[in-house]
Amino acid sequence: MLDYTALIVAAGAGTRMGLGYNKAYYRMADGKTILEHTMDCFLQDEDCKEIVVVTDSENFYHALGPDTIGKIVVVQGGASREESVWNGMKAVLCDTVFVHDGARPFLPEECLSALKSVMETEDAACLMVPCKDTIKVVADGWIEKTLPRSTLMAAQTPQAFRTELLMDCMEKARRDGFEATDDCSIVEAYSDVKIAVVEGSYANRKITTVEDL
């Protein structure tokens, strides 16, 4: 058994969705918000002892109701994703933390199980899927080179870490003003820990635009 905290980052403004509000609170066809779907797999997992949701508390309780209790803790988001994760980390109680995008509501149970299994022995792990498209390096509107697709994978979430490891790396990153697009990048830059690759799923997509629904 692996006890862990799920840290769900849901503090965005939903600009690319064109909603005028945080896309985490968009109601899907069944009437539930994207965020509720995202939380469901963790609420149903007995190994998840705590869910830290980084978001605007007023929006959260307005959308989900004032009786949302149990293992859910709401933490105010920051000016950037990195700052939001940092705010959430200060509320993490477990020795292992799974950082997950609030806009990934389709996490398959088998991916979560595989990630938990790997984290029984590793200090960090990331769900990933092979890139389907050819990736090219571009500068000033010109193609510079094509990267070998056989070595490229797309990172997903959850990304899992020993809590102490991620906190230590984030402290150093904040000190240096280091900006990262995901949490693994911070651990890569500020530790020698090898991050295990766990097979993800193309179904575990992130909702960025209306078309993703």
* Mean pLDDT to the nearest integer, 17-29: 78
* Residue showing tokens 């007995």: 46
pLDDT at 66 over 70: no
pLDDT at 59 over 80: yes
The beta-strand segments (E) located in 45-202 are 48-54, 72-75, 96-101, 124-130, 136-139, 142-146, 153-162, 196-199
Instruction: For the chain, give the mean pLDDT.
Output: 91
Residue 120: is it exposed, middle or buried by C-beta count within 10 angstroms (0-12/13-18/19+)? exposed
* pLDDT tens profile 141-168: 999 999 999 999 999 999 999 999 999 9
Domains annotated on the chain, with CATH: 4-126+154-212 (3.90.550.10)
Could you give the CA distance from residue 185 to residue 80 in angstroms, rounded to a whole number? 15
* pLDDT tens profile 91-145: 999 999 999 999 999 999 999 999 999 999 999 999 999 999 999 999 999 999 9
Nearest 5°: phi and psi at 161?
Answer: -150, 155
Count of all residues that appear for the chain in the document: 213
Could you give the CA distance from residue 145 to residue 185 in angstroms, rounded to a whole number? 23
Helix, strand, coil % over all residues of the chain, rounded to 5: 35, 25, 40
